[in-house]
Amino acid sequence: MRLGRVASTDGVAFVAIEGDEGAEVAREIAEHPFGQPTFTGRTWQLSQTRLLAPILASKVICIGKNYADHAEEMGGRAPEDPIIFLKPNTSIVGPGVPIVRPPSSDRVDYEGELAIVIGRPCKDVRAAAAASAILGYTVANDVTARDQQALDGQWTRAKGYDTFCPLGPWIETSLDPSDLAIDTVLDGETRQSSRTSRMLHDVGEIVEWISRVMTLLPGDVILTGTPAGIGPMTAGQTVSVTVEGIGTLTNPVVDK
C-alpha cells in the first residue's frame, strides 16, 4: 500500500494512493495511517491534490557513512558501528517544495537516501523483528551544508536548516528494502547510482542499533545513509532522488 498526505480544497488528510500512474486516486484515511487504517469513503483524484511530506515525524535519525564508497570520498573509512545523528523535524518538507540554501553556507549538497518510517512505539527491537516495527519506506534527501559540517565538528547546524529534509513522495508499506536501486539526478544528470544492498548496516541492524539508544515513536523517520557521488546544488537547479519500488522525490533549489 502507498500511504501519503495530501492538501486539497477540503484540507489536509492522510490517504492511501491507488491506481495506475497518472490516474491515481487518493482515499482519505480516518485519523492516522498506523495499524490497520480505516477509510472515510472520501476520495480525490491525486492530480487534484498536492502531495505533502508523507509523515510528521517526532524525530529524524540519520546514519552517517553507511556506504563504504561514500565513507571513502569523505576521506576516511567507514566506522565499525553505525554513526547516528539527528535532524530536527522542522527540516522536513514535501515533494516540490524548494530547498532553501542559507546565505551562511557556500556549499549545500544533496544526499539521496532510503528512509525507514517507524510504525509503532518501540525500544530494544531485535534486527530479526525490525519489520514488525516498520510502517514502510520513503525517499529522502539528507541536504547538508558541507562547509559547515567540516567547520562545526558536529552536524546539527549543517544538517538542520529548514527544508534540509525533503521526504516523499509517499510511503510504500510492501517492500523488501534489501536490494533496491537508488539514484540521484541533478538537472537531468545522474550523480549518485547505487543499490541498498551496498549498505554496511542493513535496515534490521539500523533499527536494532538506534532503538537500543532511544525509544522510537510512530512516524519517526530513519535516513539510512547516502552512497558515493555527493555534490553541491545551486539556485535554479532541480534535484530528484529515486528509490526503486517507491518513487521519485523532486525538489527545486533556491537561495534565501
Rank residues 111 and 208 by Cβ distance to Mg ion and give the closer one: 111
Give whole-number Cα distances, 96 to 51, 83, 185, in Å: 8, 30, 15
Return the number of the residue (109 or 208) whose C-beta is nearest Mg ion.
109
Contact string (CB under 5 A) for Mg ion, positions 144-183, x = contact:
----------------------------------------
Q: How far apart are CA 208 and CA 206, in angstroms?
A: 5
Give the CB-nearest residue to Mg ion: 142
* Cα 123 off chain centre by: 21
- State the nearest-atom distance from the C-beta of 111 to Mg ion, in Å: 4
The C-alpha cell at 237 is: 537547479
Q: Which is nearer to Mg ion, 142 or 172 (CB)?
A: 142
- Show contacts with Mg ion in window 53-112 (CB under 5 A): 111
Task: Give the binding-site size for Mg ion (rule: CB under 5 A).
Answer: 3
Rounded Cα gap, residues 222 and 203, in angstroms = 9
Decide whether 24 or 142 has the Cβ nearer to Mg ion.
Answer: 142
Phi first, then psi: what are they for 32, rounded to 5°?
-130, 165
Residue 144 or residue 211: which is nearer to Mg ion going by CB? 144
Rule CB under 5 A: which of 106-145 touch Mg ion? 111, 142
User: Letter for the amino acid at 41?
Assistant: G
Burial string for 64-76 (b: 16+ CB within 10 Å, else e) reads: bbbbeebbeebee
Please identify which residue in 105, 226, 242, 251 interacts with Mg ion, judged by CB under 5 A. 226
**What is the contact surface with Mg ion in residues (CB under 5 A)?**
111, 142, 226
